[in-house]
Amino acid sequence: MKRSSAWKYRERSVALFFGTQRNAFSGSKPGLTGSRADTLDNECFVEVKTRERHAVVTLWRKVAAKARLEEKLPIVALAENGKPGFFLLVAAADLDELINILAGRRSKPRNLPLFGSPDIERENDKKATGAPA
């Protein structure tokens, strides 16, 4: 497959996963479709990045090897220092399994403070310096 068509093929396969079509004009003429996203999905803005290698995917593969040894679902959680929340990297093929696991644990997500939130960071700073909490 030629390099120029490889990324188009990947955009088509990702769009199919989401039940939509590739947006052929996302980069060149977004005004034709009304979206700069790589797919024509009405609810999700999907950006597809095709590279020889992504550092985060390389990390996921290492985690997946360890997870297989324990017969667990591999997930990489990415967080940025000083910023709330986190991102999950899960293989698309494992998404249904993750949803089923989470649905079996609780009927609704718990409202837990997220690592990296300002309150948690301040509390950790106080513990590290010995200041009263």
Band of the pLDDT at 81, cuts 50, 70, 90? Answer: very high
pLDDT exceeds cutoff 60 at 100: yes
Question: What totals of helices (H) and strands (E) does the chain contain, helices first?
Answer: 4, 2
**Strands, DSSP E only, in 7-84?**
76-78
Mean pLDDT of 47-60: 95
Place of tokens 């985690």: 63
Q: Structure pTM?
A: 0.70
**DSSP β-bridge partners for residue 39:** 22
